[in-house]
Structure 1
Amino acid sequence: MATGYEGRRRDYRLGAKVRVGDVGSRRAGSYGEGIVSQPEHGQNPPGGQPAWGNQPQWGNQPQWGNQPQWGGPPGWAPPQSSGQNHPSQATPGWPPGPPYGQPLYVAPPKPGVIPLRPLQFGEILDGSFQTIRRNAASMFGSALIVQAIGAVFIGIVTVGMFQLSTSLDSVSSEAELADAMGPFLAFMAGTLGVSVLIGFLGSVLQGVLVVPVSRSVLNRRTGFKQMWKLAGPGILPLLGVAALLTLGGLLVAAAVIGVAILLFTAMGPAALLIVLPLGLGSFVAFVWIGLKLMLAPAAIVVEKTGVFQGLLRSWRLTKNNWWRIFGITLVVAIMVGIIAQIVQIPVSLASAAIGGVVAPHPDPDSMTSTLVLTTVISTAIGALVGSVTFAFQASVSGLIYMDLRMRRDGLDVELMRLMETGSDPDGIPGGPSTLTRNTTWPPDGGQFPSAPPGQRPPA
């Protein structure tokens, strides 16, 4: 049996409480043999032990590696790696991890112009600019062709209208006025036809331009020829959708104008109380339906659907997202309009200056030649600006389509899979590719390796 002080030392190490007697001693049989006095309060016992009244207070414990040792200097070392991590202790040399029980956040990949997750407004704008910059030949070139066609027709109509307006000044009878109004109305109808043609071609081109937009999501560049080749199978459905939307818009406008004419004929000026709400309601309905069907060209080209399937697909994708799409489209339209007006201001000033230099003393012939010159310059600059703004708007529309599919269909997961495997490098991401049709897991309907026969892990 350990005696005296040795017995008390052993008990003190084991955490036992040692009572201090009134006389500072105990009987021989309490902790060992003999009577041994306790250390005085505030003094250290032999061997360098910490004093009884000077124990470390709670909250002021020594740091790991600086714990006091009995009879010697601090010597505790960090535990050796045993394959188990302690959540509350950081490993020296490694950055602190997430709190216990919470997964570490990993940012989604961004292989191309946008991150592969649902997008924010700023990311849509930035992705649109990057898409145009990376595919300038295909997007800007195609938009420039359509804008140039429209600019040529608009220039012809403008010059013809000017010549007709000058001829009306020499009209002196009702017969001559009737003869002159025929060509004038024809040119007015031509102006409306040019606007309809531009809208029709723009609807088709919007579906074609979604090809470089979707490929830019995975950082795949698209040339002019490759874009039209990939969009080729969807050209006929695109023409059908464009014709259907254009015809529908014309019928609605004609119906509203016809009703307004009938009301004014029957009621006179009082019909204005009915015509104004009717026109405003028709405009709101036109905008609402137009935004609901805005993504039909993109769905036709990417998902290779038909006309009515594309319209139905667009209607479903925009469900519960109409106001968000409306806000983005409105802000982009305002931005584009401001940029176009800023560019057109110096063009108008330059046209006036050219007119003053070329024809300081205007006459009908010189005015016509000046008008032709200024019209050519303004339409050329307008076509350049219009091609850039149209490509930007089409890119925004394409990214809205990709964003809605990532939100509703989980397209981001499919795009990550395409990015990792490199499958279908010459196709359109998001379409019915070989990866989505043929790649299944487990292959051939087999069993999962970790699951018992006849069972599969829950989805």
Structure 2
Amino acid sequence: MNDSPGWATPGPASDGERPGAPADQSGDGTTQPPAQPAGDQKWSAQQPPPGQWSSPGTDAPGTPGQNAPQAPQGQGWGSYGQPYGQHPGGQPGAPYGGQYGHPGGPGQWGKPPAAKPGVIPLRPLGLGEILDGTVSTLRAHWRAVLSFSIVVAAVFQVILVLVQRYAANDIATFSPDERTTPSEALAVMGDAMLFYAFSYYAEILGLFLVTALLAPVVSAAVLGQKSSASSTLNALRPLWGRLLGLTLVLFAGAVAAGMLPMLPGILTGSPALIALGLPVGLVLLAWFYVVFLLAPPALMLERGSVGDALKRSAKLVKGSWWRVFGISLLTALIAKITAAVIVTPFAIVAMVVSPGGFAGFLDGSSTQNWTFLIITAIGSVIAAAVTLPMQTGVTSLLYIDQRIRREALDLELARAAGLDHYGTTATQPGGGPVTGG
């Protein structure tokens, strides 16, 4: 226990060993301070009379104010015997200057709560606030959100179904009892890897596109404004060319980052080189994805060029790569789990009604059947309509959060929301400067 003066509150010692602790009681029940040893300077020789200690914000028992120094009006001493935050009117416990008061009183220490005109408070955001803001955006603007996400998900799912039905039809299927040479097995693995790589990059392309389309919707939700699919399309009309250009650049960059390390193995047909290049490609793809993740909302909300959007994203992510990566990875995991929960019932129904049943699903024959493909595609579209806005909403709020942290965007957002005096300094009568909106 620290024995420095002021560690424990006035009254009985907290552990019985503090120097100068009361040693006896007088006949009238009051505690008499013991004599101080000569040369001991820890405790003052002049102790206050019994019963004069008081807690903050209350008058001392006995005769009030006889032995305690009086603080100037409008100024709290913050010491024993005087109330915190003395109001100019002399009322104990009233907040000083209309803002600050004793802890737990009407005015709290520190700044007032940040303004929240829309789905997020206008200050640097935590992970929970980003996720909550995304869900609130989906609930408040579900018509515009679903309009874009369902259309994009349906288009990409149709492409994937056609590729799986025709291009992937050449992928050899074999049952466990068949003899397969190593070269045939490698060919099957290579074809399957190409198909899944195509599916993965199609998903990335869809994420970039939906992020750009929904960025104005998220921006309106942050300001507490309404938005619709038609108004969003009108706002995006001058940017369609730049949007398509940025999407293609990001898609090409993602393919290059992920596939170039494996290119020597692909060209030489060496599985060993492909296996060595795979982890390098995944690391490069993750780096590229995070660095340029904020480019779509930057393009839509700042209305610059494709190059400007790429530079803005790299600048905003610089120094915060791991934070952006962690939040994006967690959001992707949540989206994958949610999509699996939604798609699983459709996959079960597809296995039951498709020719060949469960046995055909195990040997891969039913996966090329139109019944199976259509039913699972419906489930995938519904899952994407839910998960795409979740991931893209988090990305747009990350962009806003990074600009708040680096560029004080919260002040501009407050003015755009109609809070003209937010963040300005004002003086209230009888008090000091306060900030707030």
TM-score by length of 2: 0.65
One-letter code of the match for 2:49?
A: W
Residue of structure 1 equivalent to 2:243 = 238
Q: Superposed, which structure 2 residues align to 1:320-335 within 5 Å?
A: 320-335=319-334
Q: Quick one: structure 1 residues 225 and 244, their matched pair in 2 at CA, closer, same or farther if it must change by over 3 Å?
A: same
One-letter code of the match for 2:101?
A: P
Residue of structure 2 equivalent to 1:419 = 417
Q: Quick one: structure 1 residues 162 and 295, their matched pair in 2 at CA, closer, same or farther if it must change by over 3 Å?
A: closer
Q: Which moved more, 1:393-402 or 1:142-151?
A: 142-151
**Structure 2 Cα separation of the partners of residues 369 and 263 of structure 1:** 31
Structure 1 residue 98 corresponds to structure 2 residue 96:
no
**Structure 2 Cα separation of the partners of residues 346 and 210 of structure 1:** 32
Residue of structure 2 equivalent to 1:58 = 49
Q: Quick one: structure 1 residues 149 and 120, their matched pair in 2 at CA, closer, same or farther if it must change by over 3 Å?
A: same
Contact 2:346 2:376 in 1 (8 A): yes
1:228, CA displacement in angstroms?
1.4
Q: Superposed, which structure 2 residues align to 1:77-92 within 5 Å?
A: 84-87=73-76, 88-89=82-83, 90=86, 91-92=90-91
- Which residue of 131, 134, 141 maps to 1:135? 141
Q: Which moved more, 1:225-234 or 1:247-256?
A: 247-256
Q: Match of 2:49, SS?
A: coil
Contact 1:147 1:386 in 2 (8 A): yes
Structure 1 residue 285 corresponds to structure 2 residue 291:
no
Query: Which stretches in structure 1 are left out of the alignment for 5+ residues?
Result: 1-55, 69-73, 77-82, 170-180, 424-440, 442-459
Q: Would you say how many aligned residue pairs link Structure 1 and Structure 2?
A: 332
One-letter code of the match for 1:234?
A: L
Residue of structure 2 equivalent to 1:222 = 227
Q: Superposed, which structure 2 residues align to 1:26-425 within 5 Å?
A: 58-61=49-52, 84-87=73-76, 88-89=82-83, 90=86, 91-92=90-91, 95=94, 97-98=100-101, 104-160=110-166, 196=201, 199-261=204-266, 272=272, 275-355=274-354, 371-420=369-418
Q: Match of 2:418, SS?
A: helix
Contact 1:207 1:297 in 2 (8 A): yes
1:138, CA displacement in angstroms?
1.0
Q: Whose relative contact order is higher, 1 or 2, with alpha carbons under 8 Å and at least 6 apart?
A: 1
One-letter code of the match for 2:220?
A: R
Contact 1:291 1:325 in 2 (8 A): yes
1:277, CA displacement in angstroms?
4.1
One-letter code of the match for 2:74?
A: N
Residue deviations 1:113-163 (CA, integer Å, cap 9, x gap): 110000000000000000111111111110100111122222233333687
Contact 1:292 1:315 in 2 (8 A): yes
Residue deviations 1:371-415 (CA, integer Å, cap 9, x gap): 322322221121011121011100000000000000001001111
Q: Quick one: structure 1 residues 341 and 93, their matched pair in 2 at CA, closer, same or farther if it must change by over 3 Å?
A: same
**Structure 1 Cα separation of the partners of residues 168 and 255 of structure 2:** 27
Residue deviations 1:390-448 (CA, integer Å, cap 9, x gap): 1110000000000000000100111122223589xxxxxxxxxxxxxxxxx9xxxxxxx
**Structure 2 Cα separation of the partners of residues 400 and 235 of structure 1:** 23
**Structure 2 Cα separation of the partners of residues 197 and 58 of structure 1:** 81
TM-score by length of 1: 0.62
Q: Computing the radius of gyration over CA atoms, which structure comes out larger, 1 or 2?
A: 1
Q: Quick one: structure 1 residues 150 and 99, their matched pair in 2 at CA, closer, same or farther if it must change by over 3 Å?
A: same
Q: Quick one: structure 1 residues 347 and 300, their matched pair in 2 at CA, closer, same or farther if it must change by over 3 Å?
A: same
Q: Quick one: structure 1 residues 66 and 376, their matched pair in 2 at CA, closer, same or farther if it must change by over 3 Å?
A: closer
Q: Match of 2:417, SS?
A: helix
**Structure 2 Cα separation of the partners of residues 193 and 66 of structure 1:** 80
1:95, CA displacement in angstroms?
4.4
Residue of structure 1 equivalent to 2:14 = none
Q: Quick one: structure 1 residues 238 and 103, their matched pair in 2 at CA, closer, same or farther if it must change by over 3 Å?
A: same
Query: Which stretches in structure 2 are left out of the alignment for 5+ residues?
Result: 1-46, 67-71, 77-81, 176-186, 425-437
Contact 1:146 1:198 in 2 (8 A): no
Residue of structure 2 equivalent to 1:436 = none
Q: Which moved more, 1:312-321 or 1:277-286?
A: 277-286
Choose between structure 1 and 2: higher helix proportion: 1
1:354, CA displacement in angstroms?
2.2
